[in-house]
Amino acid sequence: MRQLVPELIERYALDHSSPESAAMAALQQEAKESLSSPGMLSGPVVGRLLELLVWSTRAKLVLEIGTYAGYSALAMAAGLPDDGRIITCERSDEYAEFARRHIATSPYAHMVDLRVGPALETIQTLPGPFDFVFIDADKVSYRAYYEAVLNKLSPQGLIAVDNTLWSGRVLDERDPSADTRALAEFNDMLAHDERVGCVMLTVRDGVTLIRRRSALRE
């Protein structure tokens, strides 16, 4: 992933956000040393953002699509009340096993329910309503994930979508990669979707926040 925010600014933002816990730093370090694609891990600034969003929306049920090492799941769990719950979906057994180990030794083990398998199939089995959804799995399926969760969102619910700037590649209309095209089309669709209101934040690799509009009021 190409860094969009200049390194010094990224470092300043990190230094002026609440510090990462020792356990989260250790998880990140171990992921770098032992898992493939450690750049997929969202990291401390996005982690703190997710934690604050979960906390401020008073979410009780969170859905995550794309667990990887469990970093963002644990970050969101920190924003939940003690009777809150997060269901996190991961298709890779290897990543799920890594995440499970770290979840088990965290203070949030009783709140995190990790489901292994294709996320779209898992979502079909979940009634919701979800107070907060974090979409962060395969980019070509973002539209499908969005459609699968939109009607399962609680009235005050939020969806956060990661990597919507995709290292800036979404600006390149000639970039032929399936991921880039899917993200660019998703972003274009979303900006004009009258069912929702959204804002794209230029945090890290782009994080888009979405809420459903009430058909009666707006």
Ligand X SMILES: C[S@@+](CC[C@H](N)C(=O)[O-])C[C@H]1O[C@@H](n2cnc3c(N)ncnc32)[C@H](O)[C@@H]1O
40 binding ligand X? (CB under 6 A) = yes
Q: Which of 68, 98, 108, 132 binds ligand X (CB under 6 A)?
A: 68
**Cβ nearer to ligand X, comparing 75 with 184:** 75
Closer residue to ligand X in complex, CB, 61/63: 63
**What does the alpha-carbon distance between residue 19 and residue 157 come to, in Å, rounded to a whole number?**
27
Among 49, 89, 112, 161, indicate the residue that binds ligand X (CB under 6 A): 89
Cβ-contact 69, 103 below 8 angstroms? no
Q: In this structure, are residues 207 and 161 in contact, taking their beta carbons and an 8 Å threshold? A: yes
**108 part of the interface to ligand X, by CB under 6 A:** no
Stretch that binds ligand X, among 54-62, 102-110, 133-141, 207-215 (CB under 6 A): 133-141
Binding residue for ligand X, selected from 10, 30, 55, 91, defined by CB under 6 A: 91
Quick one: 40 or 62, whose CB is closer to ligand X? 40
- Nearest Cα neighbor of 157 from 200, 119, 195 is 195
CB of 214 to ligand X, least distance (A): 29
Going by C-alpha positions, the residue among 138, 142, 204 that lies closest to residue 168 is 204
C-beta pairs of 191-198 under 8 Å, 24+ apart in sequence: 195/150, 196/150
Candidate list 24, 44, 49, 72; residue touching ligand X; CB under 6 A: 72
CA dihedral 176, 177, 179, 185 (to 10 degrees): 0
Query: Binding to ligand X by residue 66, rule CB under 6 A?
Result: yes
Contact residues for 196 (Cβ-Cβ < 8 A; gap 6+): 150, 190, 210, 211, 212, 213
Contacting residues toward ligand X, per CB under 6 A = 40-42, 66-69, 71-72, 89-92, 95, 118-119, 136-138, 141
